[in-house]
Chains A and B, each alone.
Chain A
């Protein structure tokens, strides 16, 4: 999904391997800088304008401290989440985010910077809800830290939130501290074949009941299916699943052993069990295909199904509880889609687009645009980081 370079290769690539190296790189390199993680979302948001240097944080990798008893971990921003999850799984813990591109090697810094999340957002929110501390390098080489290593903390401003969704424009994220959760003993997913409208009705029933689904997504690439994930203990989950099955009315169930859904392989060659994992298909559809524009939208759950039907995507994943959907559209339908989403009070942003396609990344600006601009000016007055990412907003 990497988009081609939009201008001749930049003169400098900086590959610092520690925090001091990031600071020195930012201080000693004049001009405009693109921050790069694994490149899994290189084409997301506005197209990057020409830069003088690329600051590649992939050398900034690995766990700094993991205290299993505290269920917190701090890691360098270039750490692929996939690697982190593997390391944590030995301790029965995980980071409660399952964004599709984790399988592509997406880094912690990149995931925070793009504000990405997967179906697990229904219970755990996005990374902004899991990040409890951050270290960032600003455009003037200031190294700032906020938060810390404890989950409860109200000292000072929460800068990690500000960086969440900043697409590399406010600062270089160097270190991230995360809150962890126990890996559930058992996970089961119930699958119901249903068109969107009916899936939405079923989802509403599930949400009204005592089932506490861990994820609730409708997926479609023509025909639609509702996926309902529940998590729990070995002893208790089967009884919950059978109660849930009654509400769903004859759903087929896929039992997935805990932990596996985090290791979605992108390439073929996965084991037979894994290829039956409906969440792999979900991740694939979320990523979209190279010839489509991928639009991420958010709206009230009650208006989302109608909105999605109206936009008639070629493929879609629709969070019926979260109100977040990812749609594959023709590039020339994107501008209109932005408008329609905003007309119902939603938000939208472009993820991937096909090479050469000229789809707008952002819809109408939010009312708080002046605040965003003021923050950009306060933290990066010369506009050094990620030029173009928020075009035309700033």
Chain B
């Protein structure tokens, strides 16, 4: 059933008719996000030009009971921006202004379509930056970051989007506009901004975001270290933490990931070693230097077979380039792969990686690992060949790994979100009463259920479907963004 013409006319009254797309060919561009296996062509795509138009469009949705899905850059990897049949997509792509950079108060106010990296670009002249750094940061929007509570390699020390967003202007499901949060961390009453952060577009559309900016650190030190086993590298991470050091980032790669990355970008990684760590420290120069010496000693204690210290910004960039290239590079050693995103307590990393290796062997599939070791956020890559008929087995293995993370006391997702992809796994992590409570929260924001329905919380309809083959995001294929 297509949306009737009266609804379309109503949208055309509140937006410029040219900003209401109904041509099926044009709408097709919005039929999926980075999780390309799920596709639904929306009936209409709306491209409002300001917050007032977003609110007006949502009011039309509310009046006519039309479900809507907010969309940023569409880089989400869990199908969060998947359109709803008979619904509309509301893109914030045109709300792209940096409204204010306030160096005195170290904050910025931006529209939701501003990309993560554009915030830092606007802050840089003042010696400031925006800390959360998803690897899609060149293209993903702050609105999408808010919805997904996005993180990046440096979030171990600096925290996630939720720790850096002070307030959001939000259009609620009835078209009313409210501000969640305040100019400071101080709040009067329950923290509604905190509930909205990470709600994956199910509680409203954000039309302006006030973020905290940080002063760029005085000093940054980066090293790459090889180890004879995953366990040894894991012990290094534990000992760094036990020594009271909070690194800016700690990333781990296994043999397969190293091999793929090195083949792709020649970053100077050692092919064949069982594990490599990238450790980065930042802060005041005295502190950074003292702790760096300690980190080096810890690496050596655990049988580090090679320690490479970045001697210049170029060398540092090269080390990171290898790490960042690992995902895409895996495509060189396998025709197809699934990317999983789970979290385990850091102390169980070695055990979990062992279990994953065992599960891979049993399934007759290789699994490459490249992940945020500091916060236990795994990204196992399940390699397979669709041509050889391995798709189903790979998908099962990938799903089993996510559930293994939960069994280990971890989480179904560390940064890509639940979206459409993992909604049906939520009962593995949460009980009925937990999910029912989340439903109540959702209904308080959106009583009619028109705001990104079907995402996050399981619905029977979605749970019958399978996502289909993983494909790289078009921006990834074009080399515009990399996974991390």
Contacts and interface: CB of A to CB of B under 8 A. Distances in A.
Nearest to A244: B284
Contacts of B187: 115, 164-165, 298, 347
B290 A236 contact: yes
B185 A157 contact: no
Nearest to A164: B191
Contacts of B242: 68-69, 92
B160 interface: yes
A240 B286 contact: yes
Contacts of B184: 298-301, 322-324, 346-347
Contact of B441 (A72, A157, A207): A157
Nearest to B245: A182
B372 interface: yes
B194 interface: yes
Interface stretch (B13-21, B27-35, B49-57, B344-352): B344-352
Interface stretch (B3-11, B40-48, B261-269, B427-435): B427-435
6 contacts: A150-B375, A156-B418, A212-B215, A236-B286, A239-B286, A301-B105
A146 B190 contact: no
A371 B197 CA distance: 15
Contact of B182 (A92, A138, A210, A346): A346
Contacts of A156: 418, 426, 429-430, 434-435, 438, 456-457
Nearest to A143: B433
A149 interface: yes
B354 interface: no
Interface string A340-353: 00000111110000
Contacts of A390: 189
B317 interface: no
A185 B294 CA distance: 14
A121 B185 contact: yes
B183 interface: yes
Contact of B215 (A128, A207, A378): A207
Contact of A166 (B162, B190, B217, B422): B190
Contacts, number: 290
B297 interface: no
A374 B412 CA distance: 29
Main SS at interface, chain A: loop
Nearest to B405: A150
B320 interface: no
B437 A138 contact: yes
B16 to A, nearest CB: 28
B244 interface: yes
B178 interface: yes
Contacts of B454: none
A232 interface: yes
B324 interface: no
B164 to A, nearest CB: 10
A149 B409 contact: yes
Contacts of A158: 149, 162, 194-195, 197-198
Given A121-B185, A151-B156, A301-B184, 4 more contacts: A156-B434, A157-B198, A236-B289, A371-B178
Given A129-B159, A165-B191, A324-B184, A148 B179 contact: no
Interface in B373-412: 375-377, 409-412
B463 interface: no
Contacts of B449: none
A158 B11 CA distance: 33
A154 B417 contact: yes
B184 to A, nearest CB: 4
A166 B244 CA distance: 33
A382 interface: no
A240 B284 contact: yes
Interface in A361-391: 362-363, 366-368, 370-372, 374-375, 377-379, 390
B319 to A, nearest CB: 22
Nearest to B288: A236
A301 B99 CA distance: 19
A117 interface: yes
B195 A367 contact: no
Interface residues of B, number: 94
B96 to A, nearest CB: 24
Contacts of A379: 437, 440-441, 444
A128 to B, nearest CB: 5
Interface of B: 102, 104-106, 127, 148-149, 151, 155-156, 159-160, 162-163, 172, 176-180, 182-195, 197-199, 215, 217-218, 238, 241-246, 283-287, 289-291, 343-347, 372, 375-377, 409-418, 422, 426, 429-431, 433-438, 440-445, 447, 456-457
A198 interface: no
A346 B183 contact: yes
A138 B437 CA distance: 9
Nearest to A258: B244
Nearest to A350: B188
B302 to A, nearest CB: 15
A182 B244 contact: yes
A377 B445 CA distance: 11
Contacts of B290: 233, 235-236
A377 B183 contact: no
Contacts of A144: 433-434, 436-438
B183 A67 contact: no
Given A154-B415, A184-B244, A368 B192 contact: yes
Contacts of A157: 195, 198-199, 438, 441-442, 456
Nearest to A238: B286
Contacts of A126: 185
Given A153-B343, A297-B186, A233 B441 contact: no
Nearest to B78: A154
A161 interface: yes
B347 A70 contact: yes
A67 B346 CA distance: 10
A338 B156 CA distance: 38
Nearest to A373: B444
A91 to B, nearest CB: 9
A16 interface: no
A375 B284 contact: no
Contacts of B199: 157
A132 to B, nearest CB: 10
Contacts of B172: 371
Among B177, B343, B456, max chain A CB count under 10 A is at B343
A387 to B, nearest CB: 15
